[in-house]
Amino acid sequence: MVLAADLRLDANWVDYLLVALYFGFVIGIGIIARRSVSSSLDFFLSGRSLPAWVTGLAFISANLGAVEIMGMSANGAQFGIPTVHYFWVGAVPAMLFLGVVMMPFYYGSKVRSVPEFMRKRFGTGAHLVNALSFALAQLLIAGINLFLLAKIVNLLLGWNLYVSLLVAAAIVLSYITLGGLSAAIYNEVLQFFVIVAALVPLTIVGLHRVGGYGGLKDKITAAGDGAAQLNSWPGTNLTGIADPFWSVVGIIFGLGFVLSFGYWTTNFVEVQRAMASSSMSAAQRSPIIGSFPKMFVPFMVIVPGMIAAVLVSEVAKAKASGDPKFDYNNSLLYLINDLLPNGMLGVAIAGLLASFMAGMAANISAFNTVFSYDLWETYVVKGRSDDYYLRIGRVATVAATVIAIGTALFARNYQNIMTYLQTLFGFFNAPLFATFILGMFWKKMTPTAGWTGLVSGTAAAVLVGILSKDALGSLSTGVLPLKSQGAAFAAAGAAFIVDIVVSVAVTMVTRPKPVSELRGLVWSETPRSDFHDANEGTLAWWQNPNKLAAVAGVMVIVLNIIFW
């Protein structure tokens, strides 16, 4: 932990004006969006009316929170180029898969949430497991985002931590209760541009200082360990797996397949953005459109981290001495502090605050949908008017914010936020993808197999976590020689395999759902026309999800080759 005085930014009234302007716009969007909320569908899914570029940007923006910006720049500072795997292997392929293969099921079956798909396909057991674990995870992550937000305000501007916490929570609360998902999504789009406006100049100024990318490479090589820091493969420093072959396997199978597909294709925080689109092809296009900016996020997040590692004396010193206590999460803040003059400093602060707030807003808007539709309406109070559930949604938002404040105080105890979150995703998400993909393409899979697969998959992940060296902190026994990201990859992989094996075994001995109930939920039982817009033939090539996805796929392969 650094001393607050190290990072206190010299913000003047111009910087405060820029930050205040941003918040004025945020609240303004909430107020204007309120005018369009007349039913629960408006509140929870924006009336399914948003254009694809809006939902596409919101799709990645919802993920561009504290973890991404601080965590990935920290990884950039510590590990260098291999961090790109979180984007080019660990995000883009799964986003394209979501758009091309899975979105037709979600959008076409008219479900209002990912757990609702689970309920239609597998019934109550799997639905409860999914809805409860998701709701719980959202509260935790919202708390972490809120804590980081408050910590930044505290570090940069010197506000009291508790005051920062309450003010940030109040702002998020006000715009979501007012405008629901539309307000959250519009703010995410605005946030995206503010973050770009903050990080791109920082990167350019940083590169200018180190003498361009060539200068950066020279300086990293001079600091030692250049080969591992400047080549994306095999990424042994990132995975913590010493053997290059297993490191590559870990990245491709653990991160690229299990963790990333589990996260991007079943996480309702992301999928909800696409569900708010105006048509099937727009819903499919959302994650695909989002994949284009996603490919280039590393250049404004990882590169500044790498620059900080050679330019900022504190970071460079900690890296050279291998100080295990140093908190790399502050690398970006040091760089901002060292390089940006007043004016651009204000934009940078606005961008950081925007990112952290939108992360939390995304968690809360996904939580209130799942809570209202999947838990309250399904199990607690059934069959009331739409107005009633809209009111419940607003109450849930307030309650979630209050709980997030509590979780934020709890999250203070966790130092390595990145690993902690990865662990969480591994436990909840990895078995989900296995169950979804089996359920969508195998009509015989039974409801019992649905929930037993999920439970045993999660249990397998927890077991690997306990056997590893450090995935679960003091709970880990160190029986397996796995640590840090490598342990998370292994836990996710185990969850995936166990889920598949258990699902197949249980299906053999239990009764499947009647085929007549599976239209829209299982590939072989759904007429192809359900998966396409009537007007799809009239769309231009760049509006066709498959062609657009192919372009994105080629681009990400080219990027991978360039930074080999």
Partner 1 sequence: MAENTSETGHKAGLFDIRFVIGALMGLYGVILLITGFFTSQSELDRADGFNVNIVGGIAMIVTSLLFGLWARLRPIVVPEHIEQEDEPA
- Binding residue (CB under 8 A) for partner 1 from 29, 176, 276, 408: 29
- The residue among 207 and 302 lying less far from partner 1, judged by its C-beta, is 207
Question: Crossing angle of helices 124-157/417-441, nearest 10°?
Answer: 150
Q: How far is the CB of 470 from partner 1 (least distance, A)?
A: 38
- The residue among 96 and 205 lying less far from partner 1, judged by its C-beta, is 205
Only one of the segments 204-212, 319-327, 438-446, 462-470 lies at the binding site for partner 1 (rule: CB under 8 A); that segment is: 204-212
Only one of the segments 123-131, 196-204, 408-416, 419-427 lies at the binding site for partner 1 (rule: CB under 8 A); that segment is: 196-204
Residues contacting 7, CB < 8 A, separation 6+: 155, 156, 330, 333, 334, 337
- For CA atoms 375, 378, 379, 381, the dihedral sign is positive
Question: According to the binding rule CB under 8 A, does residue 41 interact with partner 1?
Answer: yes
Question: Crossing angle of helices 161-210/124-157, nearest 10°?
Answer: 70
Question: According to the binding rule CB under 8 A, does residue 16 interact with partner 1?
Answer: no
- The residue among 215 and 473 lying less far from partner 1, judged by its C-beta, is 215
Question: According to the binding rule CB under 8 A, does residue 226 interact with partner 1?
Answer: no
Q: How far is CA 354 from CA 114, 188, 289, 368, 494, in A?
A: 26, 8, 21, 21, 36
Number of helices (H) and strands (E), helices first, in the chain?
27, 0
- The residue among 13 and 414 lying less far from partner 1, judged by its C-beta, is 13
Q: How far is the CB of 218 from partner 1 (least distance, A)?
A: 16
Scanning residues 83 to 142, which ones bind partner 1 (CB under 8 A)?
A: 110-112
**Quick check: 549 and 94 in contact, CB under 8 A?**
no
d(CA 79, CA 64): 20
- The residue among 450 and 520 lying less far from partner 1, judged by its C-beta, is 520
Only one of the segments 277-285, 301-309, 452-460, 464-472 lies at the binding site for partner 1 (rule: CB under 8 A); that segment is: 277-285
- Binding residue (CB under 8 A) for partner 1 from 194, 271, 353, 358: 194
How would DSSP label each residue in 511-555? PPPPGGG-TTTSGGGS-GGGGS-TTGGGS-GGG-HHHHHHHHHHH
- Binding residue (CB under 8 A) for partner 1 from 7, 11, 22, 361: 22
My answer on whether omega of the bond before 82 falls inside 30° of 0, hence cis, is no
Scanning residues 543 to 562, which ones bind partner 1 (CB under 8 A)?
A: 543
Only one of the segments 315-323, 409-417, 501-509, 535-543 lies at the binding site for partner 1 (rule: CB under 8 A); that segment is: 535-543
Question: According to the binding rule CB under 8 A, does residue 388 interact with partner 1?
Answer: no
Give the pair of three-digit tokens for residue 453. 């697969």
d(CA 429, CA 461): 10
**Quick check: 30 and 366 in contact, CB under 8 A?**
no
Q: How far is the CB of 25 from partner 1 (least distance, A)?
A: 5
For residue 532, count CB atoms less than 10 angstroms from its CB and return exposed for 0-12, middle for 13-18, buried for 19 or more: middle
Residue type, 81: I
d(CA 273, CA 185): 7
Give the pair of three-digit tokens for residue 183. 């307000």
Only one of the segments 28-36, 360-368, 430-438, 551-559 lies at the binding site for partner 1 (rule: CB under 8 A); that segment is: 28-36
- Binding residue (CB under 8 A) for partner 1 from 540, 541, 561, 564: 540
- The residue among 22 and 134 lying less far from partner 1, judged by its C-beta, is 22
- Binding residue (CB under 8 A) for partner 1 from 21, 136, 163, 554: 21
- The residue among 12 and 477 lying less far from partner 1, judged by its C-beta, is 12
Question: According to the binding rule CB under 8 A, does residue 383 interact with partner 1?
Answer: yes
Q: How far is the CB of 202 from partner 1 (least distance, A)?
A: 8
- Binding residue (CB under 8 A) for partner 1 from 201, 293, 473, 512: 201
**Angle at the Cα of 267 from the Cα atoms of 483 and 172, rounded to 5 degrees:** 100
- The residue among 269 and 347 lying less far from partner 1, judged by its C-beta, is 347
Question: According to the binding rule CB under 8 A, does residue 344 interact with partner 1?
Answer: yes
d(CA 471, CA 33): 42
Can you tell me which residue has the tokens 């394209």? Answer: 96
- The residue among 209 and 444 lying less far from partner 1, judged by its C-beta, is 209
Scanning residues 419 to 478, which ones bind partner 1 (CB under 8 A)?
A: none
- Binding residue (CB under 8 A) for partner 1 from 186, 367, 371, 427: 186
Residue type, 14: V
Question: According to the binding rule CB under 8 A, does residue 535 interact with partner 1?
Answer: yes
Can you tell me which residue has the tokens 């937000």? Answer: 149
CA 186: distance to chain centroid?
17
Beta strands of 297-363 (E only): which ranges?
Answer: none
Cα dihedral 58, 63, 66, 72 in deg (nearest 10):
-130
- Binding residue (CB under 8 A) for partner 1 from 282, 352, 417, 487: 282
Question: According to the binding rule CB under 8 A, does residue 18 interact with partner 1?
Answer: yes
Only one of the segments 67-75, 171-179, 336-344, 446-454 lies at the binding site for partner 1 (rule: CB under 8 A); that segment is: 336-344
Question: According to the binding rule CB under 8 A, does residue 412 interact with partner 1?
Answer: no
Q: Which chain residues interact with partner 1 by CB under 8 A?
A: 14, 17-18, 21-22, 25, 28-29, 32, 41, 47-49, 51-52, 54, 110-112, 186, 189-190, 193-194, 197, 201, 204-205, 208-209, 278-279, 281-282, 338-344, 347, 383, 535, 539-540, 543
